[in-house]
Amino acid sequence: MLPPPHVIVQAEALSLLPSNRILLDRPTSLPSSPSSPSTEIPYEALILATGTKLSPPGTMPGLGTKQEGVRYLRGSQVRLREAKRVVIVGGGAVGVQMACDLAVLYPFPQKHITLIQSRHLMPRFHPALHDLVIRRFEELGIQTVLGTRAEVPEGGWEGVNESGKGGSVKSTDGRTVEADYVIHALGQTPNSSVLSTLSPSSILPSGYIRVSPSLLVSPSSASEAAALDGKVFALGDVADSGAPKAARPALEQARIVARNVVKALEGQGVESFETYTPSPAAIHLTLGIRESVIFRNPPDVGGEPTMIWKDDGREDMGIRGVWERRLPGFAKRDKDYHL
């Protein structure tokens, strides 16, 4: 619970409206008008931190309830357990980590795991990370098909996954990989549609939100800029800030945006706002249940990346520590944080 007058509203924000209002999918009561529920919330400043969504199973289909999510994930676990041939489409962090986890849990030849990627692995990072991941794949018996794209069928591969009869993944260069289960790990979809009515030009063709160095939403239309009133910010994965999509950059952006919101509410001009400068891309990439690497791109062209190998991982990914940071003293036993 937040102390008054702060409040957490459980509703979906559908769109931004003129005159600094947000349209919700359900009526809600605010402390300022507890007896008058409304589907609209006024704001003086707004921060969009809506993030992105992955393809299933990274983002679960349905209404998003806990029970529904548990059923979906348990069903996926059963089908993955039974699958002999698993194909992962996408060689970014999600695809690489899923491949390594599966190979550790079901060592070759229990499962034949193949990853398809149109470029080299982990393409946002220095090529040294690709080389490191390839060596790890060789240790785990993971096959790769690189330099070609998978042809994604209409509706994806859910039919293959749910039929129990298997199928195949075809690549644009004519190769075919047989599969009993296919994991779609092709990037992220930004949750930016809330801006599509009031400021469509703020949304780039990629779906990410265009922002200024001070993380203000930056439409290309003057009328849209006037409608946003210079007090709508975006940060984290949904913002096209030049930063990698990770927690550390988002935390730094949040600090900057918080200070800029205060300045905006005090009536200070945009010229007084702090700006965000992305640091070299970095990632803590798991390469199995215990093994991981902390990798940081070099700060200068031609420099060498930083690589720190670790083998202290846990099956629950240290979730007790997460609970301890969020609710100190709550998780005293493992069962305290299990469903």
83-187: CATH topology is: FAD/NAD(P)-binding domain (3.50.50)
| H or E element in which residue 103 lies | helix 93-105
Q: Are 121 and 287 in contact, with CB atoms under 8 Å apart?
A: no
CA dihedral 153, 157, 162, 167 (to 10 degrees): 80
Q: What is the mean pLDDT of residues 138-160?
A: 89
pLDDT in tens, 244-267: 898 889 999 999 999 999 999 999
Q: How long, in residues, is the chain?
A: 339
CA distance 250 to 215: 11
Closest CA to 55 of 189, 159, 166: 189
Tell how strand 209-210 and strand 239-240 pair up.
parallel
- Whole-angstrom distance, CA of residue 280 vs CA of residue 26: 41
pLDDT tens for each residue of 44-73: 999 999 999 988 878 888 777 888 989 989
Strand-pair partners of 158: none
Three-class DSSP category at 107: coil
Nearest to 37 by CA among 45, 29, 49, 47: 29
Domain with CATH 3.50.50.60 in the chain: 83-187
pLDDT tens per residue, range 270-323? 999 999 999 999 999 999 999 999 999 999 888 999 999 999 888 877 777 887
Average the pLDDT over 221-227 and give the result: 95
Please say whether the beta carbons of 282 and 258 come within 8 A.
no
Give the rounded distance of the alpha carbon of 63 from its chain centre: 18
For residue 336, what pLDDT is reported?
65
Distance, in Å, from the CA atom of 255 to the CA atom of 276, rounded to the nearest integer, reads 10
User: Cα separation of 31 and 57, whole Å?
Assistant: 38
Check if the beta carbon of residue 9 is closer than 8 Å to that of residue 34. no
Give the N- to C-terminal CA distance of the chain in Å, as an integer: 21
Question: Is the pLDDT reported for residue 125 higher than 90?
Answer: yes
In the chain, the amino acid numbered 201 is S
* pLDDT tier, 4 (very low <50, low <70, confident <90, very high otherwise): confident
Residues 144 and 87: their CA atoms lie apart, in Å, by 10
d(CA 67, CA 57): 15
Q: What is the pTM of this model?
A: 0.86
pLDDT per residue as tens digits for the range 100-114: 999 999 998 999 999
